[in-house]
Amino acid sequence: MIKIPSFNGKSKRPQRRFNRRRTSLLRQHPGLLHLLDSGITLGSVLLCLFLLPTRLPGMELLGIGPNWLLIWVVAWSVKRSLWAGALAGVILGFLQDAMTSPEPSHAITLGVVGLLTGLIQKQRFIQEDFISIALIVFVMAIVAETIFALLLILAGDRPTEYIWAYYQRVALASAILSSLWAPVLYYPLNLWWERIKLSESR
């Protein structure tokens, strides 16, 4: 009786060996793992900056798109300290200022978002599933737009009635879209950061 070789078994073995070699390489060189983590984290920030002015189908409501930087700050802050979240928000806010307008600064709004997100998770009020993350993003988008509207009013260069009318439209549209798209960014980033923590703990 002629035995037919199993191609499925042979195709899996090289892949497993490759994964083991890659894992052992990262364990032997932790600096390489940190470099890879920094590259992916920075790349995700650059992707959010690129997507911020982009209006693809399904990414626009009343002329407003998702606040990708706010989603990133929430995804970063849910498993980190208050100050780590606030610092990330301030840095990304300055990056957004460089792309749009520095007055009023987005560093204030995103910094508050990072701080509040870290505070919420520290108290363990909400679990870290997709629905909870979408809810956090929805609330934080409302908070961010409210703070931004207050900063515009304090600047005094625009009529208050116009600011509040515009704020109501922007806040709701941004909150809805950002919460809907939040899992798209949160899931891969959270999965990667979880694997990094697992690798470091071994």
Judge whether 3 lies within some domain: no
Residue-by-residue pLDDT tens, the chain, 202 positions: 444 444 454 444 544 444 444 445 455 556 777 888 889 999 999 999 998 888 777 777 777 888 999 999 999 998 888 889 999 999 999 999 888 877 788 999 999 999 999 888 766 656 667 788 899 999 999 999 999 888 888 877 777 778 888 888 888 888 999 999 999 999 999 888 888 877 766 6
CA of residue 200 relative to chain centroid, distance: 22
Q: What is the domain range of residue 116?
A: 41-201
Q: Which residues have CB under 8 Å from 153's CB, separation 6+?
A: 160, 163
DSSP for 148-172, please give it: HHHHHHHHTSS-HHHHHHHHHHHHH
CA of residue 87 relative to chain centroid, distance: 14
Judge whether 151 lies within some domain: yes
* Element holding 71 (H helix, E strand): helix 68-77
Name the 3-class secondary structure at 1: coil
Residue 14: its pLDDT value, please? 47
Judge whether 12 lies within some domain: no
Longest dimension (CA), the chain: 90
Judge whether 34 lies within some domain: no
Judge whether 21 lies within some domain: no
Residue 87: its pLDDT value, please? 94
Q: How far is CA 174 from each of CA 46, 71, 118, 144, rounded to the nearest angstrom? A: 20, 11, 21, 10
Residue 59: its pLDDT value, please? 79
Judge whether 106 lies within some domain: yes
Name the 3-class secondary structure at 40: helix
Contact, 145 vs 167, CB < 8 A?
Answer: yes
CA distance 154 to 61: 27
Residue 124: its pLDDT value, please? 60
Name the 3-class secondary structure at 9: helix
CA distance 61 to 88: 27
Judge whether 145 lies within some domain: yes
* Tally of structural domains, the chain: 1
Q: How far is CA 120 from each of CA 18, 19, 94, 136, 184, rounded to the nearest angstrom? A: 41, 37, 24, 9, 21
CATH assignment of the domain containing 63:
1.10.1760
Residue 138: its pLDDT value, please? 95
Residue 11: its pLDDT value, please? 45
Residue 113: its pLDDT value, please? 94
CA distance 62 to 90: 27
Judge whether 63 lies within some domain: yes
